Chains A and B, each alone.
Chain A
Amino acid sequence: MLKFLRKNGPGYLFLVPWFIGFIALALGPILVSLYLAFTKYDIFSPPEWIGLENFEFMFLYDDRFLNSLQVTFTFVFLSVPGKLVFALIVAMVLDKGIRGIGFYRALFYLPSILGGSIAVAILWRQLFDYDGIVNAVLAKVGIQGPYWLNDPDYALYTLIILAMWQFGSPMLIFLAGLRSISPELYEAAEMDGTSKFKQFYAITIPLLAPVIFFNLVLQMIDAFKTFSSAFVISGGSGAPVDSLNFITLYLYNEAFTFFRMGYASALAWVLLVIIAIFTGIAFYSSRYWVYYENERD
């Protein structure tokens, strides 16, 4: 026993804070959340077990939920690829030894670091106001801009643009990835007479695949979790006409505006499962397109 403690004791001691946090703030809540997902619970009276009813209602009758799914998916599928392509292009331009790279890199990253702030969400609202700067620029070239924030057909695009504006983090990761590709490979390709374009898709892309994959997973998970900007830009409600009603926002309002904690928990689990499925797909598919340089057993 004494020996066991001497060997393991220090490890356990250092883990105490994390372990308490893990039980109280992660594992416990996950189990409780799973339980609540099958109940009707309004905080004021004890939870009432209703089996699958929450999920039945959600998928069969709740048009707001189905709409929120559509909003969330549209957002993820448009913003993530856009952001990654843009990030890769800029990273490649920056990679090829250019003066002032530190300056550009910093400026490109700045929006990402501010992106989560309410100030930027407020700013965005004003930029895309009907009388805002975006429409003013469009007017200059003779286009009459829409009511971005009040037109359900356009509102989501303001958020997609906001997301793409924050391409800094994947760009930095791409940059690190590009740096790690040995220049000798390009020199060898050059000597074989490989064209620049072919170098891009025969060397850069395959060798960058792990980084692309990493960015893809990270950005996708992040995009599914978008909340604050949607909250502020839509005024907290998902307006106009629920066109900004992301699952996260819907969930928040169900829980903290209407106190439907059971239903909100069920929504949270749907979100979890969606993220898990997409991460799973990404991981599963990665074996077909991601090549790891130092593949180990």
Chain B
Amino acid sequence: MNTPVLHLEGVSRIHGSGELAVHALREVSFEAYAGELVAVMGPSGSGKSTLLTLAGGLDEPTSGRVVVEGTDLTAAGAGGRARLRRTAIGYVFQDFNLIPALTAAENVSLPLELDGAPSRAARAAAATALDELGIGDLADRFPDEMSGGQQQRVAIARAIVGQRRLILADEPTGALDSVTGEDILRLLRARCDAGAAGVLVTHEPRHAAWADRVVYLRDGVVLDDEDAGETVGARR
């Protein structure tokens, strides 16, 4: 518990340059520890999705460091970041999370297969992950043949397959009804209780409340409970 699974240190991200520069994140520091689910809230444009793409190494910070499981993502290079996504980071998106041409089991085993795991081992790991999420019977279905909630479960299974400890969820319940959405959050919560570190981006307070901690983002800046006034004041 002493080293965070995910650690953002003074991370800034500026899109574009000059007049058109958009400060998506300013000097954000953030940690997520194993066994912890952290919710990131904020209105659209507050930088919460940018935070997630930086954490997953799909984007690079303009300044600052992003460290996943002790590896500096910037230093790791594109190849290293791809490797980390295969072995350490799992993504769950809002919808269309699954590759339509692959079955549930193939979607789940994808990171392992991309990593060069033997087909049989990858299948076995996928079956285990699907069983853990209670959808072992959906293994051979294609995404078209599953409900939204089932698809999200498969996506979570893919995010955790192969002992990965960082789950990055971007509005994972956005396309679901409230009951199914809640099921998904329970699952995420359970995965974190089982030892994963979760970062959940959402704009629904109800869902954010499943987290251990809630981080508020405003204009690329983190509002903490303690120094909220200061930050807001400073901005004025």
A binds B: no
Give residues in A with beta carbon < 8 Å to B: none
Give residues in B with beta carbon < 8 Å to A: none
